[in-house]
């Protein structure tokens, strides 16, 4: 996988377009002059979490004695479940009564909205399959995060331009692409398991 492919895959798993309405809802009770600062802070925290898993993930997996095949299969399942929710969305509760007041901090905006399980699993899969190319995955992560950050920081204008239907259509299209990637990831893991070779 090259840098471009990795960037596209990470961008799809970060799902910034699908997160636009949820992000706006979470920041609804934040003072307008503080919203961009809060969102930027959460984006940076999410990037820090993703970088942590990128560099420390292999050591954690090694400590737990998890094989590459299991990461590939698990990542495929997680991506598939996330993608199915994108294609066939269900109402999502983005807040609890305790979360309504005050600014979000780390949860739920940075985690799991931006740095979600699908993005983390994708990073773990990349770095365990080809750890020698950690620099490629770092560049891809920064590129995907930067594009996602631009989209989320301009979420108000994006929702105004595309409208609710436009956002839903784009999220479902991204979901369909992610379904295909998830199935391929799962099949690669299964083939590697049965052949006894690394995924």
Residues 113-140: tens digit of each pLDDT: 899 888 888 898 899 888 899 999 999 9
Reported as a pLDDT band with limits 50, 70 and 90, residue 95 is very low
| Coil, helix or strand at residue 92 | coil
Cis peptide before 141 (omega within 30 of 0): no
**173 or 4, greater pLDDT:** 4
For residues 109 and 121, give the distance between their C-alpha atoms in angstroms, rounded to a whole number: 18
Nearest Cα neighbor of 115 from 174, 42, 32 is: 42
Provide the pLDDT for residue 140.
Answer: 97
Q: For residues 75 and 91, what is the distance between their CA atoms, to the nearest angstrom?
A: 24
Q: Where are the alpha helices (DSSP H) in the chain?
A: 3-14, 16-26, 32-63, 68-87, 117-129, 134-153, 155-195
Contacts (Cβ under 8 Å, ≥6 apart) of 60:
none
Residue 124 contacts residue 13 (beta carbons within 8 Å): no
- Residue 28 DSSP class: T
* Per-residue pLDDT at 6: 94
User: What are the structural domain ranges in the chain?
Assistant: 3-93+100-195
């Amino acid at each position: 996988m090259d840098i471009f492919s990795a960037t596209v895959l990470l961008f799809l798993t970060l799902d910034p377009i699908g997160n636009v309405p949820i992000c706006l809802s979470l920041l609804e009770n934040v003072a307008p002059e503080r919203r961009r600062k809060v969102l930027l802070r959460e984006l940076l925290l999410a990037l820090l979490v993703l970088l942590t898993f990128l560099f420390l993930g292999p050591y954690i997996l090694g400590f737990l004695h998890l094989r590459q095949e299991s990461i590939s299969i698990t990542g495929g399942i997680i991506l598939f479940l996330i993608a199915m929710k994108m294609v066939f969305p269900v109402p999502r509760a983005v807040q609890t009564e305790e979360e309504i007041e005050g600014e979000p901090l780390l949860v739920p905006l940075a985690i799991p909205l931006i740095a979600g399980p699908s993005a983390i699993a994708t990073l773990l899969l990349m770095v365990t399959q080809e750890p020698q190319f950690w620099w490629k995955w770092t560049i891809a992560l920064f590129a995907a995060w930067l594009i996602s950050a631009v989209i989320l920081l301009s979420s108000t204008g994006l929702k105004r331009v595309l409208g609710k239907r436009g956002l839903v259509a784009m999220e479902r299209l991204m979901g369909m692409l992610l379904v295909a990637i998830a199935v391929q990831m799962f099949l690669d893991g299964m083939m590697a398991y049965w052949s006894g070779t690394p995924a």
